[in-house]
A and B are shown apart, each in its own frame.
Chain A
Amino acid sequence: MIEAVNVFKSFEGKEVLKGISAVFEKGKTNLIIGQSGSGKTVLLKSLVGLHDLTSGDILYDGRSFPALDHKKRKALRQEIGMLFQGSALFDSMTVEENVRFPLDMFTKMTEEEKRERTNFCLDRVKLENANKKLPSEVSGGMQKRVAIARAIALNPKYLFCDEPNSGLDPRTAIVIDELIHEITHEFGMTTIVNTHDMNSVLGIGEKIIFIYQGEKHWEGSKDEIIHAENEQLEDFIFASKLFRKIKEKS
């Protein structure tokens, strides 16, 4: 479980996060949603420790991340996997080397064990015959799969995904969403997904937090979101014609 406690974050005097508190549950796919510029990426990066908080606290199963010393913070980071918006695969490494990288850096596995673990992760994301290819030689969807495989290589407790299906076609986007959802349940991870894609929201949103102008405006599940009585959330959900039609029919 990850808990954000009254999180504030400012950049050069401009307040981006304004006292956000939220609980992200273990074994569930937790979604942070909001319009572009609402502060959801800053929240995700603050949760994962890429941004220092202006004030507030982040608790990983009760451990305060900002209060941890360098050594403990480093150990905690190895329990974290992250899937970036642009995949963030290392250009100079092959698909296999990307997945193997955390194993090389942080484990004392033998070559054979590393190979087995790498193949297991690549199989798990259903990626075949791409081991020796460079990231630039595979499609966007495949890059996301490699990034997921790399993120789960060390068997993390916490998985963060920043707009995992941006830039993907709708079918591939659903596949990636489902993969994240399956992995979360299979490994009992605390997964936090940052998205503004309503297909993801309605597909995998077991717990959803809606951010508006740096504040938490609503939280609930995918079953509750359609009937939520929040003006900003309604504007966000029903921005597309398709969802407006669905609402009118229901």
Chain B
Amino acid sequence: MKLFYHIGRYSLFVKKVFGRPEKHTVLVKQVIKEIDKLGIDSLGIVFIISIFMGAVITLQTAYNIDMAFIPKYTIGLAARDSMLLEFSSTIVGLILAGKVGSNIASEIGTMRVTEQIDALEIMGINSAAFLVLPKMLAFVFIIPFLVIISMGVGITGGFLAGALTGEVPAADYIYGIQFAFIPFYIAYSIIKSVVFAFIISTVSAYWGFYAQGGALEVGKASTTAVVTSSVQILLFNLLLTQLLLK
């Protein structure tokens, strides 16, 4: 029953988030600020995760298909498709659910328990739209760039790992990442990431927005936000894969 309660309340919350902004100039300024806070500040973690993921995928594939009749370039192909199809969108999404999701939930939760949200409401401002819409728009806008960067860095990480360990010759790897390339995989990954960005920003904001009590409750809201966002990312990953790759 509680699940349906939260689904209902979340739907109403999202409706409020899409309420008309008070001033478009203020919204634009907020979106730019959030792009910096949620997107640019996440570049470091995306870079680190991607380079290591690409490297590990390449080495694991190399060790597992170490057979004479399987050409070496398939390692590059496997690394590329793994990054494009799954890692750059889903794993980066899960990592960002932790970083960005907890940030959003704790920021909005703290504003709730310190009555800053009440202060906005008293002024006649739609607090859900004012606080959440810029974050959501900014994150949905910036995540495709993060995903594309992750793809590039991950594939480069694979190349470096293969070359430095001598497991995959550079020429084979480069041939592999160009072999049987399907451009739609990039679109598929971006579509997934946009949906994940929407989930992370709105679900985390929802838990923060309805936090009650003090610091302890804000901490709990933050944890719940990360867990729920992550579960939803996995669920929608499955649904979107079935819908888009069928």
Contacts and interface: CB of A to CB of B under 8 A. Distances in A.
B153 to A, nearest CB: 31
Given A86-B114, A88-B114, A105 B119 contact: no
A80 B123 CA distance: 7
Given A86-B115, A88-B116, A78 B123 contact: yes
Interface in A40-89: 45, 48-50, 73-78, 80, 82, 84-86, 88-89
Contact of B122 (A75, A82, A85, A106): A82
Contact of A74 (B114, B115, B124): B124
A90 B115 CA distance: 10
Interface residues of B, number: 15
Nearest to A101: B123
Contacts of B118: 45, 50, 82, 84, 88
A102 interface: yes
Interface string A104-144: 11100000000000000000000000000000000000000
Interface in B105-152: 110-111, 114-116, 118-119, 121-125
A91 B23 contact: no
B22 interface: yes
A95 B246 CA distance: 56
Interface in A190-215: none
A48 B124 CA distance: 11
Contact of B123 (A85, A86, A91, A102): A102
A159 to B, nearest CB: 11
A5 B211 CA distance: 31
A44 B111 CA distance: 20
A88 B125 contact: no
A49 B120 CA distance: 12
B122 A80 contact: yes
B48 interface: no
B23 A88 contact: no
Contacts of B123: 77-78, 102, 105-106
Contacts of B119: 82, 84, 88, 90
B26 interface: yes
A107 B123 CA distance: 12
Interface in A133-164: 160
Nearest to B23: A105
B122 A77 contact: yes
A104 B114 CA distance: 22
A151 to B, nearest CB: 9
27 contacts: A45-B118, A49-B122, A74-B124, A76-B124, A77-B122, A77-B124, A78-B123, A78-B124, A80-B122, A82-B119, A82-B122, A84-B115, A84-B118, A84-B119, A86-B115, A88-B118, A90-B116, A91-B110, A91-B116, A102-B123, A104-B23, A104-B26, A105-B22, A105-B23, A105-B26, A105-B123, A160-B122
Given A76-B124, A84-B119, A160-B122, 5 more contacts: A48-B122, A80-B122, A82-B118, A84-B118, A90-B111
Interface of B: 22-23, 26, 110-111, 114-116, 118-119, 121-125
